[in-house]
Amino acid sequence: MELPAAFLQAMERLLGPEYPAFLQSYQQPPRRGLRRNPLKCGQPQLEAALPFALEPTPFFPLSFSFEAGEEKVGRLPAHHAGLFYVQEPSACSAVTVLDPQPGEKVLDLCAAPGGKSTQIAGLLAGEGLLWSNEIVKSRAQALLSNVERLGVPNAVVSSCHPQRLCQSLQGFFDKVLVDAPCSGEGMFRRDPAAVAQWSPESPAACAQRQRAILDSAALAVREGGVLVYSTCTILPEENEGVSDSFLAEHPDFCRTPFSLSGPVGETEGQVTLWPHRHGTDGFYICRMTRN
């Protein structure tokens, strides 16, 4: 895989002596992942319906990696029945950190195609409210399709501008997830389209949009509520830079520590998952609480 030169230069400056290990990680084939849908099945039923074995991952109890052959996983009857959702394991960590509980009101503000929304729904277990929003109407249709396929009974699906939605629902939600549109460096290992679409200007443009979305999301969080910001990128400009800037302008929010199983452990409120350190796609999570 030929990665953009500007991206590699940025990684070399950032990682220093770890840079060779980072490069080597891109020579390893990424494992595929799926997440069991507890609204539709238990573990024995899922395993019986699949033609391959599952291996647990440290990022979410219902997340698994697998070695699939040439078969199209999305064509399996179990997929059409909504028994599972194909999802990279590291991406499951955002909802693990959000930690939605039955009965809570939860907003997924940038929800398409629905992986994290349906993960939240499984944890709510039919109690409380899931509000899944996607500003792009065509992507909102894919979101709605996945919410229906996985049998979510307590969801609202909308296609609204984040500012308009959050102004209308100020202080309404216990927990809000902003899995923001990003420049996608974390997906380079498995997605050639992400590599082709990237440019040196992408991170700065994305960071500006991410800050605007976070400013909107802050309105919707109740006092004492939780806001989780995540991206599938690994450049600090879109990660720590965005969350630092947000916190500087929103003194009523603060980072709150969390832990993830496996190689991550305890954090001070934010973490970047790296291919060479954690064996995953690149991913960033920051957990903030409104005072």
Catalytic residues: 232
Contact 97, 175 (CB under 8 A): no
Rounded CA gap, 152 and 30, in Å?
Answer: 30
CA 18 to chain centre: 25
What are the CB-based long-range contacts (under 8 Å, 24+) for 44-47?
45/83, 46/78, 46/83, 46/84
CA 105 to chain centre: 18
β-sheet bridge partners, residue 283: 273
Residue 3, judged by CB atoms within 10 A of its CB (0-12, 13-18, 19+), counts as middle
What length is written for the chain?
A: 291
